[in-house]
């Protein structure tokens, strides 16, 4: 275990090398998170995968070019420029294949990825057998060499990320519309194609910058995972992008620090694993689209629906039995309720128990029949009324056949807000029986057995 | 260029691997799951590493099982995340395979003292070395033939895939084009999905142990996509894709020996050149295909304008 003072030194970035690495990964995480957000919303997350693989032949070719010109082939800016060029060509090839042939998006990406990477491997194969230069340095583009980054790497990375961040902030409005409604943007006369390519170019720049830091494979994670994690917390684009950049930066910081504490923890892999942890936690407890919150919402909706179904079933049974408005006797046998809908015995008992706890029903002589209380009757009237208003609306305005209207109304009535009820009420007053709170059913009600 | 019996075996193993992948690739392309091959081939790394750490030896069977399990898990996790988390399928695939890959790298680095596993070997494969591991020496027509282990393994995998595709052709076809129709016809399309994924994982592992993952990724997708541009019939597409795959394997090895010499270099990696050749065949077909080619569509469009 590392000493406490060591941890402190890493956290406050005292050590020069650690400081360099940590700042690099934080910046990179920030830029990747931001760009990944756009990619995710455009449903193009795997474009980062294709892009990063497509950079390999560029690295190899520019290395060969440098050697042919008499250098030792280790000029980083030129290698990165080569990577960027083939990366952009790869993106363009994906767009071309997708638009000009019947081949789908995913297959186009797969083709470009494998063919470009194959070309890269072949070129590296040639380089390895060249007498002049060793290709040893080029390996770092595939696996990254986070821990041994130097000042010049740092400068290039800072330059690229700052450019990307500025660009995407300036064009935020344009990119937002591109993500949500490309056709609308085009109809407004925006240069959609140009924006699309610009966005991909920015993403290429980030990817190329990250090749050095985390390597070709793990940069893919940096582009996808923080954005996907942020998506669970909010439905608003600006917040999501900010959060995504934040998660990216945090994973970079934590990952790089961890790898500084312990021996043999390559920074790239730790960063990816930290980001994955962020993703899993967000997926579980995210407040907007997380698994738990959605499960909770689902079960609440189900409970509300069960309650309304029970009340309406009771009311309709009573209504069928008595013509009087007051409905003096409000006891209904359990079996008759069970026959009203296709609900299981267990579910129905569950709904009844809940209604009992709310004081809507009572069970005077245990199990066999239940009694609607005074408050229960009011609520039941309301539920039945909502259902019938919906049915009428559907028949009148949506041209739904009378025989199907019950089922259709069933699906939508539970999301009916109070305001909507008021409006429907005014529109449909004519259909209500004078003096009655509950309109008549527009279709015959089949009694349950 | 000099030709040795080694080169013949490289051609045979390369063609077998390409054929095995292309058979399954057709259904990946039709199901819009093309990136699965890429994902699985990266994600098997932890499976390999764990199998190695547990058994302590590079026994191919345990590594094979470990990798196949990791491959199937990739498909399962991708499904889970996209279903329960409502995440775009591409994104969930990306998250799963990068995480597993990182985990694999970490395991290898952590156990570096006793793991003799080179990740780059997994990525590129060493098809050039495969003919050296001879396990079977039958004599045919008076000629003694030295069959390498990989050729046998790949022949088995190819045969198995071919039997699978032929036997379940109807089920695969219907569930690939219309999963709901398949369900109403009593075909378990979920089962078909996982069967296909398992086979893809097994094939991926078997192939890249022999020839490197780049061939797997390329051969799963590129020949099938090329065939897709040439025909509307599924059986013809399958046959064409296998032929194209074998063609690009042969051209790939030849060009790996010949092309670098034009520029005054030594030979290069066969796996890489196989992918490049598949790409060249694809581009040619994309431009000149009789019905769906870019040129043909262009001609049609201009005629329609007139």
**In this structure, are A285 and A348 located in the same domain?**
no
- Domains identified in chain B, total number: 1
Tokens 């970490």, located at residue:
B106
Question: A205 and A148, same structural domain?
Answer: yes
Q: Tokens 């009324």 correspond to what residue? A: A385
Give the other-Cβ count within 10 Å of A173's Cβ: 8
Contact A80, A156 (CB under 8 A): yes
Q: What is the pLDDT of residue A109?
A: 92
In terms of Cα–Cα distance, which of A192, A49, A63, A72 is closest to A132? A72
**What was the pLDDT predicted at B281?**
95
Q: Of the given ranges (A50-59, A124-133, A411-420, B173-182), which has the lowest mean pLDDT?
A: A411-420
The residue-averaged pLDDT of A207-218 equals 79
Q: How confident is the model at residue B117 (pLDDT cuts 50, 70, 90)?
A: low
Reading the block at residue B138, the tokens are 């039958």
Q: Give yes or no for B301 touching A (CB within 8 A).
A: no
Tokens of A175: 């990119």
Does B295 map to a domain? no
Return the residue in A38, A50, A101 with the most chain B beta carbons within 10 A, the one to mutate for interface testing.
A101
Note whether A266 contacts B274, CB cutoff 8 Å: no
**Sign of CA pseudo-dihedral A292, A297, A300, A301:** negative
ipTM value, please give it: 0.89
A122: containing domain: 4-289
Establish if A141 touches chain B: CB-CB under 8 angstroms.
Answer: no
Q: Is the pLDDT of residue B5 over 80?
A: no
Answer whether A269 touches B (CB < 8 Å). yes
* Alpha carbon of residue A122 to chain centroid: 38
CB A406 within 8 A of CB A352: no
> Is A385 domain-assigned?
yes
Position A434 confidence tier, pLDDT thresholds 50, 70, 90: very low
Euclidean distance between CA atoms B242 and B161, whole angstroms: 12
What is the separation, in whole angstroms, between the first and last Cα of chain A? 73
Residue A449 has pLDDT above 50, yes or no: no
Per-residue pLDDT reduced to its tens digit, A254-267:
988 888 877 777 88
Nearest chain B CA: its distance from A227 CA (Å): 9
Phi, psi of B139 (to 5 degrees): -115, 120
Written as six digits, the tokens of A12 are 């406050």
Mean pLDDT is lowest, of A3-7, A130-134, A241-245, A431-435, for A431-435
pLDDT at A418 over 70: no
Look at B265 and A346; give whichever has higher pLDDT: A346
Contact A121 B38 (CB under 8 A): no
Q: Which of B242, B251, B300, B299 is nearest to B279 (CA)?
A: B251
Q: Is B163 exposed, middle or buried (0-12, 13-18, 19+ CB in 10 A)?
A: exposed
Q: What is the pLDDT of residue B179?
A: 77
Q: Report which of residues A389 and A428 the model is more confident about.
A: A389
Write the DSSP string, B209-255: HHH-HHHHHHHHHHHHHHHHHH-S-HHHHHHHHHHHHHHHHHHHHHH
Q: Output the domain CATH number for residue A342.
A: 1.10.10.10
| Residue of chain B nearest A286, judged by CA positions | B85
CB B89 within 8 A of CB B78: yes
Spatial contact of A214 and A28, defined as CB atoms under 8 Å apart: yes
Q: According to the model, what pLDDT value does residue A323 have? A: 46
Can you name the residues that pair with A333 across neighbouring β-strands?
A369
Answer yes or no: do A281 and A343 share one domain. Answer: no
Which of B81, B222, B273 faces A111 most closely, judged by CB atoms? B222
Residue B86: the pLDDT is 87
Top residue of A269, A291, A293 to mutate, by most chain B CBs within 10 Å, is A269
Task: Tell me whether B145 touches chain A (CB under 8 Å).
Answer: no
Which of A306-315, B43-52, B125-134, B138-147 has the least mean pLDDT?
B125-134
Mean pLDDT of B233-243: 93
Give the burial class of A370: count Cβ atoms within 10 A of its Cβ; 0-12 exposed, 13-18 middle, 19 or more buried: buried
For residues A107 and B282, the answer to whether their CB atoms sit within 8 Å is no
Beta-carbon contacts of A288 under 8 Å, excluding residues fewer than 6 positions away, are A232, A233, A234, A235
In a domain, A37, yes or no: yes
**How far is residue B277's CA from residue A349's CA, in Å, rounded to a whole number?**
68
Q: At A357, give phi and psi (nearest 5°).
A: -65, -30
Mean pLDDT of B4-12: 80
| Residue A419 predicted with pLDDT over 80 | no
Cα–Cα distance, B37 to B218 (Å, whole number): 9
Flag if A218 and B218 touch (Cβ within 8 Å): no
Within this chain, do residues A169 and A301 fall inside the same structural domain, yes or no?
Answer: no
With tokens 């609520």, the residue in question is: A379
In a domain, A449, yes or no: no
CA distance A387 to A318: 16
Question: Is 80 exceeded by the pLDDT of residue A128?
Answer: no
Domain match, A284 and A302 both: no
Q: Which two tokens stand for residue A163?
A: 């450019």
Domains held by chain A: number: 2
Question: Which residue has 């013509």 as its token pair?
Answer: A323
- Given CB atoms, is A114 within the 8 Å cutoff of chain B? yes
Instruction: Give yes or no: residues A245 and A298 share one domain.
Output: no
Instruction: Write b or e for each residue in B220-254: b if 16 or more Cβ atoms lie within 10 A of its Cβ, otherwise e.
Output: bbbbbbbbbbbbeebeebbbbbbebbbbbbbbbbb
Q: How many angstroms from the chain centroid is the CA of residue B43?
A: 14
What is the token pair recorded at A443? 């279709």
As a whole number of angstroms, the distance between CA A397 and CA B48 comes to 63
Nearest to B274 by CA among B18, B61, B1, B6: B18
A125 and A150 share a domain? yes
Chain A residues 369-428 with a CB less than 8 Å from chain B: none
Q: Select from A167, A201, A217, A189 the least CA-distant residue to A95.
A: A201
- Tell me whether B84 touches chain A (CB under 8 Å): yes
CA B34 from centre of chain: 11
List the A331-333 sheet strands across, edge first.
A331-333, A369-372, A361-362
Gap between the Cα atoms of B101 and A273, Å rounded: 10
Q: How confident is the model at residue A228 (pLDDT cuts 50, 70, 90)?
A: very high
- Comparing CB atoms, the residue among B95, B268, B279 nearest residue A276 is B95
Query: φ, ψ for residue B5 (rounded to 5)?
Result: -65, -25
Quick one: A207 and A347 in the same domain? no
pLDDT digits (tens, 9 = 90+) for B28-73: 999 888 888 888 888 888 888 888 888 776 666 787 888 888 888 9
Which run of H or E residues covers position A328?
none
Distance to chain A for B61, nearest Cα, Å:
27
Does the residue A108 lie in any domain?
A: yes
A193/B208 Cα distance (integer angstroms): 39
Decide which of A256, A272, A289 is a domain's last residue.
A289
- Which of A289, A322, A348 is the last residue in one of the domains? A289
Among A5-19, A259-273, B15-29, B45-59, the least confident range: A5-19
What is the model's pTM?
A: 0.82
Residues spanned by the domain of B122: 5-218
Whether residue A282 sits in one domain with residue A146: yes
Closest CB from B85, B119, B269 relative to A122: B269
Distances in Å between the Cα of B287 and the Cα atoms of A58, A110, B226, B292 are: 24, 18, 11, 9
User: Residue A49's closest CA among B93, B301, B45?
Assistant: B93
Evaluate whether residue B233 is within a structural domain.
no
Asked if the Cβ–Cβ distance from B269 to A124 is below 8 Å, we say yes
* A129/B265 CB distance under 8 A: yes
Residues near A20 by beta carbon (within 8 Å), at least 6 away in sequence: A149, A150, A151, A154
Q: Could you read off the pLDDT of B155-171 as tens digits, one per residue?
A: 988 999 999 999 988 88
Greater confidence (B180 vs A51) lies with A51
Compute φ and ψ for B134, nearest 5 degrees: -90, 130
Looking at A236, A254, A289, which one is the last position of a domain? Answer: A289
Q: Determine, yes or no, domain membership for A446.
A: no
Distance CA B223, CA B14 (A): 14
Q: What is the CATH number of the domain that holds A281?
A: 1.10.3470.10
Q: Three-state SS for A263?
A: coil
Of B119, B120, B276, the CB nearest to A119: B276
Average pLDDT, integer, range B269-293: 89
> How many CB atoms lie under 10 A from the CB of residue B280?
16
Q: What percent of chain B has pLDDT over 70?
A: 85
What residues 181-210 of chain B have any CB closer than 8 A to a CB of chain A?
A: none
Asked if B268 has any chain A CB less than 8 Å from its own CB, the reply is yes
Q: Where residue B138 sits, what CATH number does that domain have?
A: 1.10.3470.10
Alpha carbon distance A363, A20 (integer Å):
73
> Do A156 and A246 share a structural domain?
yes
Q: Parallel, antiparallel, or unpaired for β A331-333 and A361-362?
A: unpaired
> Quick one: A18 and A157 in the same domain?
yes
Q: Which residue in B172, B129, B165, B166 sits closest to B150, CA to CA?
A: B129
- What does the longest C-alpha to C-alpha distance in chain A come to? 104
Domain assignment of residue B91, yes or no: yes
Q: Are residues A274 and A374 in the same domain?
A: no
At which residue do the structure tokens 């961040």 appear?
A165
> Residue for token digits 């039945």?
A384
**Which residues in chain A are closer than 8 Å to B35, comparing Cβ atoms?**
46, 49, 106, 109-110, 113
Q: How far apart are CA B78 and CA B89, in angstroms?
A: 7
């Amino acid at each position: 275990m590392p000493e406490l003072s060591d941890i402190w030194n890493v956290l406050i970035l005292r050590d020069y090398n650690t400081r360099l690495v940590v700042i690099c990964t934080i910046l990179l995480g920030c830029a990747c998170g931001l760009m990944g957000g756009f990619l995710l919303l455009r449903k193009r997350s795997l474009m980062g995968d294709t892009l990063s693989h497509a950079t390999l032949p560029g690295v190899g070719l520019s290395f060969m070019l440098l050697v042919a010109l008499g250098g030792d082939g280790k000029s980083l800016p030129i290698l990165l420029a080569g990577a960027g060029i083939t990366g952009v060509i790869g993106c363009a090839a994906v767009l071309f294949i997708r638009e000009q042939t019947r081949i789908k998006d995913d297959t186009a990406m797969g083709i470009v990825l494998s063919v470009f990477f194959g070309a890269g491997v072949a070129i590296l194969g040639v380089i390895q057998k060249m007498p002049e230069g060793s290709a040893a340095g080029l390996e770092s583009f595939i696996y990254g060499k986070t821990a041994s980054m130097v000042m010049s790497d740092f400068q290039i990375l800072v330059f690229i990320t700052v450019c990307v961040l500025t660009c995407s902030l300036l064009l935020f409005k344009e990119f937002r519309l591109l993500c949500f409604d490309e056709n609308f943007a085009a109809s407004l006369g925006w240069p959609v194609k140009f924006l699309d390519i610009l966005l991909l170019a920015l993403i290429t720049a980030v990817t190329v910058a990250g090749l050095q830091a985390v390597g070709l494979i793990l940069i893919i994670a940096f582009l996808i995972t923080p954005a996907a994690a942020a998506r669970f917390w909010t439905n608003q684009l600006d917040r999501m992008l900010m959060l995504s950049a934040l998660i990216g930066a945090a994973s970079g910081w934590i990952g790089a620090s961890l790898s500084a504490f312990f021996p043999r923890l390559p920074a790239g892999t730790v960063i990816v694993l930290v980001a994955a942890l962020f993703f899993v936690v967000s997926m579980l407890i995210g407040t907007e689209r997380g698994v738990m919150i959605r499960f909770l919402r689902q079960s609440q909706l189900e409970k509300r629906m069960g309650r309304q179904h029970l009340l309406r079933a009771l009311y309709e049974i009573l209504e069928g039995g008595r013509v009087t408005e007051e409905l003096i006797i409000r006891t209904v046998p359990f079996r008759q309720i069970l026959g009203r809908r296709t609900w299981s015995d267990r579910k129905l008992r569950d709904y009844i128990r809940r209604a009992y706890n709310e004081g809507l029903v009572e069970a005077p002589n245990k199990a066999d029949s239940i009694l609607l209380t005074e408050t229960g009757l009011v609520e039941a009237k309301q539920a039945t009324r909502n259902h019938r208003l919906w049915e009428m609306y559907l028949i009148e305005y949506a041209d739904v056949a009378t025989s199907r209207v019950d089922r259709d109304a069933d699906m939508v009535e539970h999301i009916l807000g109070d305001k909507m009820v008021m409006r429907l009420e005014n529109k449909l007053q004519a259909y209500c029986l004078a003096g009655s709170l509950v309109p008549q059913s527009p279709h015959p009600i089949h009694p349950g057995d | 260029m000099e030709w040795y019996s080694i080169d013949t075996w490289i051609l045979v193993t390369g063609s077998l691997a390409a054929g095995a992948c292309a058979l399954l690739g057709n259904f990946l392309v039709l199901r819009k799951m093309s990136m699965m091959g890429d994902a699985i081939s990266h994600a098997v790394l932890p499976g390999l590493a764990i199998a190695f750490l547990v058994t302590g030896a590079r026994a191919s069977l345990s590594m094979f099982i470990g990798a196949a399990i990791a491959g199937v898990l990739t498909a399962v996790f991708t499904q889970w995340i996209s279903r329960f988390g409502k995440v775009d399928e591409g994104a969930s695939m990306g998250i799963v395979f990068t995480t597993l890959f990182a985990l694999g790298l970490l395991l290898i680095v952590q156990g570096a003292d006793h793991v003799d596993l080179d990740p780059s070997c997994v990525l590129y494969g060493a098809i050039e070395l495969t003919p050296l591991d001879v396990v079977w020496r039958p004599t045919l027509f008076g000629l003694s033939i030295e069959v390498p282990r990989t050729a046998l393994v790949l022949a088995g995998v190819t045969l198995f895939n071919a039997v699978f595709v032929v036997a379940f052709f109807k089920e695969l076809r219907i569930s690939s084009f219309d999963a709901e129709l398949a369900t109403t016809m009593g075909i378990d399309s979920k089962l078909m999905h996982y069967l296909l994924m398992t086979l893809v994982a097994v094939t991926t592992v078997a192939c890249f142990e022999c020839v490197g993952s780049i061939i797997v990724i390329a051969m799963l997708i590129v020949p099938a996509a090329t065939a897709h541009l040439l025909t509307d019939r599924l059986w013809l597409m399958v046959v064409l894709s296998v032929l194209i795959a074998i063609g690009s394997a042969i051209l790939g090895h030849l060009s790996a020996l010949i092309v670098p010499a034009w520029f005054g270099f030594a030979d290069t990696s066969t796996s890489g050149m196989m992918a490049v050749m598949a790409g060249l065949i694809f581009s040619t077909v994309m431009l000149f295909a009789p019905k769906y080619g870019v040129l043909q569509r262009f001609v049609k469009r201009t005629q329609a304008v007139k």
